[in-house]
Amino acid sequence: MDALRQTALDARARAHAPFSHFLVGAAVETVDGRIFGGCNVENSSYGLTMCAERTAIFRAVSEGAKRFTRIAVVADTEKLTPPCGACRQVLWDLCGDLEIILFNLQGASESFRLADLLPRAFDATFLD
Ligand code: THU
């Protein structure tokens, strides 16, 4: 297992999901090889819940990271868990056409490009 996946797995172990019990881990890699993990953090008001992917990317940005290569996402599902729509939009804004690696606890894995998961995305270029 590479460091990116291991970091996502370690983050998943720290997921705070007392309502859904659905534990997710993510890890984002920068162009200079730094890795930042994140887990989902749920809230009793539900809507304030933060997904693992956004926790990871917000952690990275808050540490000064600006350019990214890959994100790995792990959950305990046979059908691999993809980023939700909100996370796709946030990742597009901050990372562009990122490689997204989904995997599960059984070792199944599949890679996607964010541009394929979020076609015709809205972004800052429309605000010019
Ligand atoms: N969740 C994530 O963290 N990432 C995903 O890709 C899908 C969903 C979280 C949000 C919530 O805490 C729980 O999984 C159930 O939706």
Query: Which residue's alpha carbon is at the smallest distance from atom 2 of ligand 1?
Result: 51
Q: What is the pTM of this model?
A: 0.98
Backbone angles phi, psi at 57, to 5 degrees: -70, -35
Q: Give yes or no for residue 19 CB within 6 A of ligand 1.
A: no
Q: Where do we find the tokens 């046979």?
A: 78
65, 79 Cβ separation under 8 angstroms? no
Span 24-35, average pLDDT: 98
Residue 1, pLDDT > 90, answer no
pLDDT at 128: 85
Residue scoring higher pLDDT (26 or 128) = 26
Enter the CATH code of domain 3-127. 3.40.140.10
Q: What is the pLDDT of residues 42-90, one digit of tens each?
A: 999 999 999 999 999 999 999 999 999 999 999 999 999 999 999 999 9
In ligand 1, the atom with minimum distance to the C-alpha of 17 is: 12
